[in-house]
Structure 1
């Protein structure tokens, strides 16, 4: 089996949906900035935890075969989309938000760090989902 065959076996639609769904956290922050409302740090934490629980729940409910890979790739999708969103905001509305980073910084350091972190974070959530799947099969 070639690498291309292996990668096409992944549930790419699910990966894109989960990665896109996680954008709810930065979108809430953006709307808070637009309307002059500061999102409390605890709200950000709770939203992040809720997203993690939903990701794990979806993987378990759908009985996904490769939860670590699927959630790691979902993390990468989220990272790429969030960086793209940040760059777009910097270009279209540079005064919006707390971060006044240049587009070059967002694309280099941001892309590497965010993608790496979210890959590992997704894989960790996938490991949890995998363990729950194994326990529930007994």
Structure 2
């Protein structure tokens, strides 16, 4: 195998990743430009105040959050990580065979059971849990 043939083979293998990266950068720049031109242009008193978790940290009344907000974040992380595991299984589908399919099916069944459990205990109900205590009745 010659050096020229080796370089051509490497370029054939790399061009999809390079084109994906170029398209990604172009889309990112387009979205930033659109946001700059189409976004709101407000210049209020609090425009440049520091934020912490979306809450104004200076000169603001104290806001109390229940644990329910954090449960949503935990649910998102759990189900997002499980999606990544399933994506890895899909990529290795040919190598894993029927045993991999059975394992993935068990994994999905456990996920579904967890989601049904969360739904049944009311962990996914937003309206009832997030109203201030004085408004709950």
TM-score (norm 2): 0.30
Q: Which has the higher contact order (CA 8 A, sep 6+)?
A: 1
TM-score (norm 1): 0.29
